[in-house]
Amino acid sequence: MPLLDQITEQIKQAMKDKDVTMLDTLRSLKTALKNKQVELMRDLDEGEALQVIQREAKTRRESIEQFKDGGREDLVAKEEAQLKIIDSFLPAEMSDAEIEDKAKAVIAELGASTKKEAGKVMSKLMAELKGRADGKRINAIVGKLLN
């Protein structure tokens, strides 16, 4: 079942359950997905839908940090609840060990040995791990391996 259909079904269930946080979060996700569909003028494939959801999750994480800095614990709790719901639609993130294994394989394949070649390694690795690991984590691991 396409992701948009799953979200629509869960919206119906959240309405029945009168779960306001779930309902608001799912509506927000559905709106973001619909906006991307309108922008591209076609239906989204699963990869594009996951990118939209990842962007929404990233927005929530940034909001949580800002609210913590501002001392707004009430808003932190709300954003964390929304993030938990959004994360349920994302595939499980890879562990650092798994990323490191993939990075070592790509480094060996490309014959990279210096930090100057990190760009080549990153571009290939990001294509392979798209949606399964955060770019900052991947970059940190590649930087550690190419020293």
**Domains detected in the chain:** 3-87 (1.10.1510.10), 96-145 (1.10.10.410)
Length of the chain: 147
With 0-12 / 13-18 / 19 or more C-beta atoms within 10 angstroms meaning exposed / middle / buried, residue 26 is buried
User: Is-contact 128 102, C-beta < 8 A?
Assistant: yes
Predicted confidence (pLDDT) at residue 24 exceeds the cutoff of 80: yes
Torsion angle defined by CA atoms of residues 112, 114, 116 and 119, in that order, rounded to the nearest 10 degrees? 40
Nearest to 20 by CA among 67, 82, 64, 63: 82
pLDDT tens sequence across 32-87? 999 999 999 999 888 889 889 999 999 999 999 999 999 999 999 999 999 999 99
CB atoms within 10 A of CB 109: 10
